[in-house]
Amino acid sequence: MIRPLLALFLLLPALPATAQQADVQTALATLPPDVAERIAARPDRFADTAIDLIHGHGTGGAIDAAGIDRALALDRAFFRTRALRSFHESDLDADGAVALPEITARAATLTPPARARLLRDRDAADTDADGTLTPDELRAHATAEAARATRPEDEALLRAILAFDGDGDGRVTAAEIRQATDALSQG
Ligand SMILES: [Ca+2]
Ligand SMILES: [Ca+2]
């Protein structure tokens, strides 16, 4: 009788880790394969990204789907704003459009590299090539620049955080992330 009991006793400490590793594999299986591979390859990096997002955009020490959507929307708004900044600085009469004389006046105040960048951006945004940027052209340019700056695979990685909602309450805490990535690191 002693031998089976002893064997069971020896197995016990390993059981929780095995269960957690099984949970993590279950969570990874719900994700797109490329996202799961990225997380499994660098669990520590994923933990850093996830915990930064929880601290930066979560509430009460956790983040939910709406919080992740909000963080991604804030990122896109940042990149849209950055793409439009030089055009807003060129909109001398504040009518929301950038006419040729306006961009010429702004360009004359810039260093050669900054001038080249402004005119290159103008050419990219000026879809109908009439020299003027309409509000619609500016909006489309900003949206395109934001899409270029935010990679779909990075967005997918942030959304993958929700797969590690261990207690299933719709919110993911730093502890839940750590539990998952520790199990991955040990696995
Ligand atoms: Ca204007
Ligand atoms: Ca135009």
What's the CA-to-centroid distance between 76 and ligand 1, angstroms? 24
Does residue 123 lie within any of the structural domains? yes
Residue 5 has pLDDT above 90, yes or no: no
Asked whether residue 134 falls in the same domain as residue 169, the answer is no
| Range scoring the smallest mean pLDDT among 13-27, 32-46, 79-93, 95-109 | 13-27
CA of 147 to the centre of ligand 1 (A): 25
Check whether residue 139 and residue 173 sit in a common domain. Answer: no
Ligand 2 centroid – CA 146 distance (Å): 20
99, 130 Cβ separation under 8 angstroms: no
Instruction: Give the burial string for 75-96 (b: 16+ CB within 10 Å, else e).
Output: bbeebbeebbebbeebbeeeee
Q: Which ligand minimizes its atom distance to the CA of 98?
A: 1
- For 12-42, the pLDDT digits (tens) are 544 555 678 888 898 899 999 999 999 999 9
Q: What pLDDT does 21 receive?
A: 83
When divided into structural domains, the chain yields a total of 2
- Residue 133 sits in which domain range? 73-149
Q: How many angstroms does the Cα of residue 94 sit away from the middle of ligand 2?
A: 17
